[in-house]
Amino acid sequence: MDSKNVSEINKHELSNWQMTEVLNSINIGFFSRDLITDKYLSLSEGLPRIYGYDLDAFRNNSKLWYEVIIEEDRHVTEEEMRDLKNGNKSVAEYRISHPDGSIRWLEVKTLPVFEAGTMIRVEGVVYDITKRKQAELQTIREKELSENIINSLPGIFYLFDEDGHYLSWNRNFERITGYTADEIRDLSPLDFIEEEDHCAVREAMLGVFREGQGDVEARLKVKGGLSFMYYFNGQKLVIDGKNCIAGMGIDISERKAAQETLQKNERMLSHILDLIPQAIFWKDANCCFLGGNSIFANLMGVDNVKALIGKNDFDFSTTPEEAMMYQKDDQEVMRSKQPKMHYIETHAQSNGEVFWLDTTKIPLKDQNDEVYGILVVIDDITEKKIREDKQRKINEDLIRKNIELTDFSYIVSHHLRAPICKVLGLASLFDKEDPDTALNGELIEHIAGEVSSLDTVVKDLNTILANQSSAGKLVEIMSLADLIAESKKNLENELNRTQADLTYVFEVETVKTVKSYLYSIFNNLISNALKYKHPDRNPKIHIHAFDAGTGVYITFQDNGIGLDLKKVGNKIFEFYNNFQRGYGSGRGIGLKLVKTQVEAVGGGIEVDSILGEGSCFKIYLPHQ
């Protein structure tokens, strides 16, 4: 062999050596495997760094590369082999279990080598793409989080360009306007505004493009011709070199709600989280804070959101029990994968100040419907609760001081005076000279009837007065299941006669209060639902009891004839008011007695009713 050929061989060997050194120095693995002998012909030093096993482990076990693949990803290797047998280059991605306990993503590019039509060898390169996959997953989650935040906003969100073409909107936009996504794409912003407000809205949009931000009040026109007064705001954005407006619309038909939910902010929608009047934050699956807005930071007593990230409820709750309660509730929402909407809870800061909160919790899911965290929207209703509590205490004090005098005055003026006047009038007609006349007999019968009515009024008054205070009454723990069983037994004949469907859900098993009062309340409300049933359907009565933190709520829902509350109002709880004429001989003291008994133990009663559809009585009993 001449020197020239030797030199060429040396160059070739040097080139191979240099290539091997390059592959060994980077985090890429190279392999060549003989399929006939099932042995590796060559392995690069990058493989141990990727797989976590040394080269001898691969040489001693030619199936090691397959055994470490996550089981649900192994099907990828079958597709890989089909491509190779067809003579094609294969590119596969799958996960492996690393000896350090982690899961890693690999990308494997493989080339087949054939001889006489038979695949005898495969050669490939292995890349660790874990960081890339994690970045992709994070991007997907951030996009989903952004969509969740936008869709959890209290109003409508919109984004449109300077030509009036909608680029994005939230679900509320479709729900409130009644238009589908395809219809919205073909409409312009002014198509949703009443014609009389076009000029003002057009000027406001020009102002946003000119000054960067702006707002306007106008009537939102929805599908079907109705319109509602809305407050719209907007901020100028530049997307792909084109001027756009992003903003929100809030229903201001009730001005008070608008004032509570709307805040103006100089940064407007460029900092959309800080525009929202509700506190917003999100946690990971371990209940650690990942982010939130400045309002939430203020609620937690810290200067900025960064102070929250990585921490959990135990870092901010006044007691471990409170933190465990929050985390248990969050975990339940994530486990159920169902949102929990608008429930009331309290939060105590480290300085002892207590806030009342209207809370909504939404599980955050990835593209595989797996929950990876939770989004929480909190509305601080503390001031409203303080006003309500102050007013309630004032009212309760006035009621305690005046109820006896008021009721007594009412009875005397409206129900005692009438029969007394009749008795006096009848007595004046009595013939004293001839007591045995037929007229005197009739007069005596009428006088007896009026005295009987007078006696009934006095008894009713005594019943109400006797129940106005729980002082001296035995407060005991009673089973709601036993209580409903007693009520069903007492009303068995009426339940059977009306073929009523009585159902109940007791989220709390017991209540501590005056048993006779609660038994009377159950019997009166169930009896009323049966008495005032709708003539065209069998009565359905559903009783629901649940804990509200400070006490227990018990609701009685029926499908009876209902009431026109605009006409009746709170008069249904007044003495001797019977608004359902033609439905039995009730004297109209049942609901008065229920209200008196509930208030006697420090509770309250509310009613919602729709004429022709039914009524719902909501009883609140404080914890004793």
pLDDT tens per residue across span 562-588: 988 888 766 777 655 555 544 444 445
Question: Binning pLDDT at 50, 70 and 90, where does residue 456 land?
Answer: very low
pLDDT of residue 451: 57
Q: Span 136-153, mean pLDDT?
A: 70
Count other Cβ atoms within 10 Å, centred on residue 375: 23
Sequence-distant (≥ 6) Cβ neighbours of residue 439 within 8 angstroms: 429, 431
Cα separation, 246 vs 205, in Å, equals 11
Find the Cα–Cα–Cα–Cα dihedral 447, 448, 454, 460, rounded to 10°: -160
Q: Domain 3-128 classified CATH 3.30.450.20?
A: yes
What local confidence, expressed as pLDDT, does residue 560 receive?
93
Q: What is the pLDDT of residues 296-331, one digit of tens each?
A: 888 788 888 888 888 998 988 878 888 898 899 999
For residue 463, give the nearest of 570, 572, 594 by alpha carbon.
594
Residue boundaries of the structural domains of the chain: 3-128, 154-267, 276-380, 387-466, 475-622
Q: Work out the widest C-alpha separation in the chain, in whole angstroms.
A: 167
CA distance 564 to 562: 7
* Mean per-residue pLDDT over the chain, rounded: 81
3-class SS of residue 385: helix
Whether 3-128 and 154-267 share one fold: the answer is: yes
Q: What is the pLDDT of residue 418?
A: 55
Q: Assign 94 a pLDDT band (cuts: 50, 70, 90).
A: very high
Q: Provide the sign of the torsion angle of the four alpha carbons 210, 231, 216, 174, taken in this order.
A: positive
- Residues 111, 89: contact at Cβ < 8 Å? yes
Instruction: Give the total residue count for the chain.
Output: 624
For residues 482-500, give the mean pLDDT: 90
**Residue 467: pLDDT over 50:** no
In sequence order, what are the beta bridge partners of 243? Answer: 238
Please state which CATH number belongs to domain 475-622. Answer: 3.30.565.10
pTM value surpassing 0.75: no
Residue 501 predicted with pLDDT over 90: yes
pLDDT at position 270, please?
Answer: 30
Would you identify the CATH topology of the domain 154-267? Beta-Lactamase (3.30.450)
Q: What are 281's two structure tokens?
A: 């934050």
Q: At a CB cut-off of 8 Å and minimum separation 6, what does 585 contact?
A: none
Q: What number of other Cβ atoms are within 10 A of residue 370's Cβ?
A: 10
pLDDT digits (tens, 9 = 90+) for 593-610: 788 888 888 889 999 999
For residue 7, give every residue at least 6 positions away whose Cβ sits within 8 Å of its Cβ, in sequence order, or none. none
Q: What is the pLDDT of residue 165?
A: 93
Q: How far apart are CA 64 and CA 66, in angstroms?
A: 5
CATH for 276-380? 3.30.450.20
Here the tokens at position 126 are 């292995």
pLDDT, tens only, 328-377: 999 999 999 999 988 887 777 666 677 788 889 999 998 888 999 999 98
- What distance in Å separates the CA atoms of residue 248 and residue 256, rounded to the nearest whole number? 18
**Residue 374 CB neighbours (<10 A):** 23
Residue 221 has pLDDT above 90, yes or no: yes
Tens-place pLDDT, residues 249-302: 988 876 644 454 444 433 443 356 667 778 888 899 999 998 888 888 887 888
Tell me what pLDDT residue 55 has.
92
At residue 164, the pLDDT reads 92
**40 HSE (CA, 13 A, CB side):** 18
Question: Which band of pLDDT confidence, cut at 50, 70 and 90, is reported for residue 516?
Answer: confident
Domain 387-466 sits in CATH at 1.10.287
Phi/psi at 305 (nearest 5 deg)? -65, -30
